[in-house]
Structure 1
Amino acid sequence: MRALMGAAARAARRVRWFCRELFGDAKYDRYVAHLRIAHPDAPVPDARTFWREHYAEQDRNPGARCC
């Protein structure tokens, strides 16, 4: 029973990771980690500001998006 619960927990963590990567939820976390390492003196924007700037940049440079 314990092994089954451990396997279910691992599967749930993997599904959560996959969904966060698929939908882009992890981008902000990676950005904050990058800022803290590469630019330790720079202020860290909140998530709302990050996403606002991220989508504005995508609108300025659409690249190879389908829509």
Structure 2
Amino acid sequence: MDTPTPPRAAAVLATVGAAVAKGCRGLAWYFGGVLGADAYRKYLEHHGQAHPGEEPLTERAYWREAMDRQDRNPQGRCC
């Protein structure tokens, strides 16, 4: 017969689980920033402040322009 987990142990497990989940979210945020996953969001924020009233590029057009810009001006990157 299974014995129930004591309340204190369950609370400790919940706390540890929450800490691990928070750490995983932090790592995902960090690597997303390093890899440029948030670049379009940053572009939209900048565009809204610097060019109010102008239509921003679509996400697809933004990434196409970003790749073209890297091809025209290659800098330190792995590939």
Distance 1:4 1:64, change over 3 A: closer
Corresponding residue for 2:53? 41
What is the alpha-carbon distance in structure 1 between the residues aligned to residue 49 and residue 19 of structure 2? 34
Corresponding residue for 1:60? 72
**Identical positions, percent:** 34
Q: Which has the larger radius of gyration?
A: 2
The size of the alignment, in residue pairs, is 67
Structure 1: any 5+ residue segments left out of the alignment? Answer: none
1:6 pairs with 2:18: yes
Corresponding residue for 2:62? 50
Root-mean-square deviation over aligned CA pairs: 1.7
TM-score normalised per structure 2 = 0.70
TM-score normalised per structure 1 = 0.80
